[in-house]
């Protein structure tokens, strides 16, 4: 035990307490934790008939402390993309640079919350987390490990269920253990693959709230895959939209125009909520399918996708004013 358990890092920037509405200017020169550059993944076709590109030219960044969601239909290679970020899969071409270094495999710096909870069924909740903690700090004494684990169990409100096996826990509780496990190693980046998709709506909601709280408290850099629009609006600072596969592309990056500190219970009352929501639905329902036409029409550079900021026309918070009933956001080329 060379190192004492690390306390929650105090928020370095734009915490809720000090944050004014829309304090996070997109242009704020924050450290880029993740840079995805021209990522492509191809899979061989069955029967030796060439290869299919799942996605290509995928480029985006995630800044330190930022929460980014990726939305797309199933089949667009979302999970593959996350696996590449986790280091479990390799790209066919392109680069993933994390904290300035190109990744070459899995790392304790990048914790993953899996779609299924991926808990070891033969281990108790505590042991599942301890397994991760022991991997991160192999020299800790078992008492230290236990203390550290307990902190995260308490954080996800599982106090009292430490010694239960996954089979004795409800779906939501299992995923809480999964989240606690991911946070317990205090990663630079948290990667989440539709973590709440298997849960019922009520459970999902409460878990989302908790995730918001924890991410805020720890200023956690996070990247999450989801197909739930409300989840994305609640959690994400920016939302990456991916078209349908094969040959999926990032079609647009949407900046969340709702203020920080939004909660599930009050966010729909904000004037920008519906513009955001409508913009995203429009994408999922129509644009994701017909994107090919859109590309040819516009001057589209897949490696430098346009940025959208859907907001109410009368709103003052958004830099872009949009008619509240206009679902299609104005697109603006981001000059980086």
Partner 1 sequence: MTTTNNFGLKAGLLSIVILLLFLFGWHMLVVAQQGPAAEGLDPEYAALLGKQATEGDSALPKPHEVGAELWQHISDPFYDAGPNDKGIGIQLAYSLFRVLTGFGLAALLAVPLGFLIGMSPVIYQALNPFIQLLKPVSPLAWMPLALYTIKDSSLSAIFVIFICSIWPMLINTAFGVANVRKEWLNVAKTLEVSPLRTAFRVILPAAAPTILTGMRISIGIAWLVIVAAEMLVGGTGIGYFVWNEWNNLSITGVVSAIVFIGLVGMFLDILLAHAAKLVAYAE
Residues forming the site for partner 1 (CB under 8 A): 86-88, 105-108, 110-112, 114, 116, 118, 120-123, 131-132, 135-136, 165-167, 185
Shortest Å distance, C-beta 108 to partner 1: 5
Residue closer to partner 1 (CB basis): 117 or 279: 117
DSSP codes, 11-39? P-S--TTTPPTT---TTS---EEEEEEEE
Q: Indicate the residue among 141 and 159 with the shorter CB distance to partner 1.
A: 141
Min separation Cβ 275 and partner 1, Å? 37
All residues at 6 or more sequence positions from 335 whose CB lies less than 8 Å from its CB, including other chains: none
For residues 129 and 214, which CB has a smaller minimum distance to partner 1 in the complex?
Answer: 129
For 187-228, list the strands marked E by DSSP.
189-193, 221-226
The β-bridge relationship of strands 189-193 and 51-63 is unpaired
| Nearest approach, Cβ of residue 114 and partner 1 (Å) | 6
Secondary structure (DSSP) of 152-163: HHHHTT-TT-TT
Residues 100/255, Cβ–Cβ less than 8 Å: no
Alpha-carbon dihedral of residues 224, 226, 230, 234, nearest 10 degrees? 0
CB of 143 to partner 1, least distance (A): 20
Nearer to partner 1, 135 or 213 (CB): 135
DSSP 248-298: B-EEEEEEP-SPTT--TTTGGGSTTHHHHHHHHHHIIIIITTSHHHHHHHT
| Nearer CB in complex with partner 1: 131/300 | 131
How do beta strands 189-193 and 221-226 pair? parallel
Angle, helices 171-184 vs 125-136, to 10°: value is 20
Of 5 and 116, nearer to partner 1 (C-beta) is 116
Q: Which is nearer to partner 1, 177 or 312 (CB)?
A: 177
Burial status of residue 271 (CB atoms within 10 A of its CB: 0-12, 13-18, 19 or more)? middle
Nearest approach, Cβ of residue 137 and partner 1 (Å): 11
Residues 6+ apart with CB under 8 A from 292: none
Beta bridge partners of 71: 226, 241
Q: Are strands 51-63 and 307-308 parallel, antiparallel or unpaired?
A: unpaired
- Kindly state the smallest distance separating residue 86's Cβ from partner 1, in Å: 6
Report, in Å, the least distance between residue 190 CB and partner 1.
Answer: 11
Task: Find the shortest distance in angstroms from Cβ 87 to partner 1.
Answer: 7
| Nearer Cβ to partner 1 (75/106) | 106
Euclidean distance between CA atoms 248 and 229, whole angstroms: 19
Closer of 23 and 118 to partner 1 (Cβ): 118
Beta bridge partners of 58: 39
Shortest spacing between CB 106 and partner 1, in angstroms: 4
């Amino acid at each position: 035990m060379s190192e004492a358990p690390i306390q929650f890092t105090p928020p370095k920037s734009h915490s809720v307490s000090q944050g004014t509405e829309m304090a996070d200017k997109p242009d704020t020169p924050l450290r880029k934790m993740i840079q995805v550059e021209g990522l492509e993944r191809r899979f061989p076709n069955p029967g030796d008939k060439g290869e299919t590109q799942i996605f290509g030219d995928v480029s985006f960044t995630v800044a330190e402390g930022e929460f980014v969601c990726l939305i797309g239909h199933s089949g667009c290679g979302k999970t593959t993309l996350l696996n590449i970020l986790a280091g479990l899969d390799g790209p066919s071409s392109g680069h993933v640079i994390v904290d300035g270094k190109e990744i070459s495999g899995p790392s304790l710096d990048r914790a993953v919350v899996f779609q299924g909870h991926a808990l070891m069924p033969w281990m108790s909740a505590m042991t599942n987390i301890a397994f991760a903690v022991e991997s991160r700090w192999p020299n800790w004494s078992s008492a230290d490990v236990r203390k550290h684990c307990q902190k995260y169990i308490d954080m996800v409100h599982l106090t009292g269920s430490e010694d239960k096996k996954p089979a004795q826990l409800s779906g939501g509780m299992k995923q809480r253990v999964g989240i606690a496990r991911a946070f317990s190693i205090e990663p630079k980046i948290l990667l989440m693959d539709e973590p709440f998709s298997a849960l019922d709506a009520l459970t999902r909601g409460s878990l989302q709230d908790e995730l918001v709280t924890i991410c805020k408290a720890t200023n956690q850099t996070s990247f999450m895959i989801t197909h739930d629009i409300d989840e994305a609006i609640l959690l994400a600072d920016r939302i990456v939209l991916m078209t349908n596969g094969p040959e999926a592309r990032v079609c647009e990056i949407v900046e969340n125009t709702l203020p920080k500190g939004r909660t599930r219970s009050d966010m729909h009352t904000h004037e920008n909520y519906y513009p955001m929501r409508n913009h995203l639905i429009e994408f999922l329902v129509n644009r994701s399918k017909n994107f090919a036409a859109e590309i040819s029409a516009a001057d589209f550079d897949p490696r430098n996708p346009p940025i959208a900021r859907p907001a109410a026309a009368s709103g003052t918070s958004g830099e872009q004013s949009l008619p509240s009933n206009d679902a299609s956001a104005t697109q603006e080329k981001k000059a980086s």
